[in-house]
Amino acid sequence: MRIAMLSPISWRTPPQHYGPWESVVSVLTEQLVSMGVDITLFATGNSKTSGKLKWVCKHACSEDPSLDPKVWECLHISNLMENAHQFDLIHNHFDFLPLSYSGLVETPMLTTIHGFSSDAILPVYRKYNAQSYYAAISEADKNPDLDYSATIHHGIETSKFPFSPDSRGYLLFFGRIHHHKGVFESIQVAKQAGKKLIIAGIIQDEAYFKEKVEPYIDGETVDYIGSVYADNKSKVLGEADGLLHLINFDEPFGLSMVEAMACGTPVIAMRRGSIPEVIEDGKTGFIVENIEEAAEAVGKLANINRGDCRNRVEKQFSVTRMAQEYLNLYGRILAERENDHH
């Protein structure tokens, strides 16, 4: 089975700090290669993989302002499509754009839909619904207009997130600094609960940061530590009493919650999107409806067994489980194509 794995080129695969889609592509690729699958990763030229690497764009678009993303995305995708005949299956993690090429190649395409940036992109998914294969990353993120071949939750390499039995007394916000992610709400909750808050992540919305976040940063009660690189990630996650995930949008999955739980850190999250699929309320964290409930939940974090958080990730969100489910899906798609040709 020869698989072409198409990664985005916004960041390196795997990313050095931020890049959730590239992160998932990387752990999936490495796991499948270790299981003996023949994988060619189409990503940026500075990406790292134990599979084969093919690239046209040397650096990630978000890291090199001289690159025009649209130009390099087109070159990147066409590089795979022009070589599609060399593969049994294309696994697309690049959103809707590659679908517009899918009718021009014989090779079947599976698209993992990592969330819908807006309803405006749905026409492309609708057009290719009948001749393509879609995987959802959560039940919550499924669109009723589309047919899905599977729902496959993300998995992580648990060995990269060592279990931390003891925390260091602070709350953590971990993610991009944007209204969607609820940074301001996390600050309010930490204040109400009288706990220190550490904020980690890239600033995605400068105006929001300046207005809603920066005024509260004093280095004592609220500390902003910037984007955390891979080698430091598990320490920051594992030493927190709890992760605050007070989102203002219907999140399709939420990788940081799984990474935190792997380290033993429970999560307090708003009941939106996929949250109930990730958090076991009362067991690996608390699912809340508003700021007041979140502040109240902070006082109950000590009741959560950190070992239960780790166990849930090992059972439900391991990379081996994710890779096996994708492998089963590849097999089903290829068998279906085989039958159609007879």
The answer to whether residues 23 and 144 belong to one domain is yes
95 and 82 share one domain? yes
Chain-centre distance for alpha carbon 82: 28
- pLDDT under 50: residue ranges of the chain: none
Mark whether 297 and 324 lie in a shared domain. no
**CA-based R_g, the chain, Å:** 20
Q: Within 10 Å of residue 118's Cβ, how many Cβ atoms?
A: 6
Place of tokens 């079947």: 108
pLDDT of residue 147: 98
pLDDT of residue 125: 98
Q: 78 with 169, same domain?
A: no
Indicate whether 189 and 102 sit together in one domain.
no
Same domain, 184 and 274: yes
Q: What are phi and psi of 113, to 5 degrees?
A: -90, 105
Q: How far is CA 179 from CA 186, 255, 340, in A?
A: 11, 18, 47
Number of domains in the chain: 2
- Spatial neighbors of 108 by CB under 8 A, at least 6 apart, are 88, 89, 90, 133, 333, 334, 337
Query: C-alpha distances in angstroms, 136 versus 50, 111, 115, 144, 331?
Result: 26, 9, 8, 12, 17
Instruction: Answer yes or no: do 122 and 162 share one domain.
Output: no
Q: How many CA atoms lie within 13 A of 99 on its CB side?
A: 21
* Per-residue pLDDT, 340: 82
Type and span of the H or E element at 224: strand 222-224
Structure tokens at 189: 């909750």
Whole-angstrom distance, CA of residue 183 vs CA of residue 207: 13
The DSSP bridge partners found for residue 2 are 38
Residue listed under structure tokens 């990592």: 114
Distance CA 111, CA 80 (A): 14
Q: How many CB atoms are closer than 10 A to CB 2?
A: 13
pLDDT at 341: 77
Asked if 93 contacts 85 with a C-beta cutoff of 8 angstroms, the reply is no
Q: Give CA–CA dist 122/95, Å, rounded.
A: 11
Residue 81 and residue 98 in contact, taking contact as beta carbons nearer than 8 Å: yes
Residue 199 shares a structural domain with residue 285: yes
pLDDT given for residue 208 in this prediction: 98
Residues 17 and 163 in one domain: no
Rounded CA-CA distance 310/124 in Å is: 39
Q: What angle do CA 203, 268, 119 make, to 5 degrees?
A: 60
Residues 210, 328, single domain; the answer is: no
Residues 77 and 223 in one domain: no
CATH code of the domain covering residue 201: 3.40.50.2000
Taking alpha carbons only, the member of 162, 154, 139 closest to residue 309 is: 162
**Residue 229 pLDDT:** 84
pLDDT given for residue 231 in this prediction: 79
Q: Can you read off the two tokens belonging to residue 149?
A: 């071949």
- Kindly state whether residues 149 and 184 are assigned to the same domain: no
DSSP 120: G
Q: What residues make up the domain containing 168?
A: 158-316
**160 residue type, one letter:** K
End-to-end CA distance of the chain: 19
